[in-house]
Structure 1
């Protein structure tokens, strides 16, 4: 077994329940972790026997362009897309999404959700 990690993907999106979040938007940081058996890929040097991390990045980017009220919902959509992408290879998927500078009445750098499947 092995893991592919995409760390600190920085994207902009329009997610949230407050009206201003749908117009102003916010910066997000996303981390993806995918566990799979890439023993054959490591021996054969064959991309078709693993997951292309460029494709993972584009899945995240595309889902970020679809507005959600909750980042929990966004995380679930990303996991579903990743699992569908290479279903038999993937054993475990974890997504962490952080909204930078959330609209709270206090000094908070970010708020994050973590979802795994």
Structure 2
């Protein structure tokens, strides 16, 4: 299946288990893969035949910069559900949410979750 990728989207949010995370906030990075058939937009060159990258970005931004959640899993799941709800052409999506600076002692680059969700067939 074809895909549209939005890579390295960076936001400031207030997600986390610790009260300091909810009060002070921190950086988050989100990567998405939007799975759909790109044959028609590839041939028609019309935006109505595809997913508008800017609208997908705005949706992700609204969620990450919006209501605080405890878990990255919940942030990722909310993004995936809203993408599938908002874009009827979308067959499935992968969402990766990365927290570069979690309050965990140790040496590492980041922590992240990645989920894959498909549209439920009716």
Tell whether the structures are fold-level matches, with TM greater than 0.5: yes
The list of structure 1 runs, each at least 4 consecutive aligned residues, that deviate by more than 4 angstroms after superposition, is none
Q: Quote the residue 2:73 is aligned against.
A: 72
Distance (whole Å) between structure 2 residues aligned to residue 107 and residue 21 of structure 1: 19
Q: Quote the residue 1:44 is aligned against.
A: 44
Would the aligned equivalents of 1:96 and 1:113 in 2 still touch at CA under 8 Å?
A: yes
Give the CA RMSD over aligned residues.
0.9
3-state DSSP of counterpart to 1:67: coil
Higher strand share: 1
Task: Name structure 2 gaps, 5 residues minimum.
Answer: 118-122
Distance (whole Å) between structure 2 residues aligned to residue 99 and residue 37 of structure 1: 31
Q: How many residues align?
A: 116
Task: Name structure 1 gaps, 5 residues minimum.
Answer: none
TM-score, normalised relative to structure 1: 0.95
Distance (whole Å) between structure 2 residues aligned to residue 21 and residue 5 of structure 1: 29
Alignment of 1:21-60 (within 5 A): 21-60=21-60
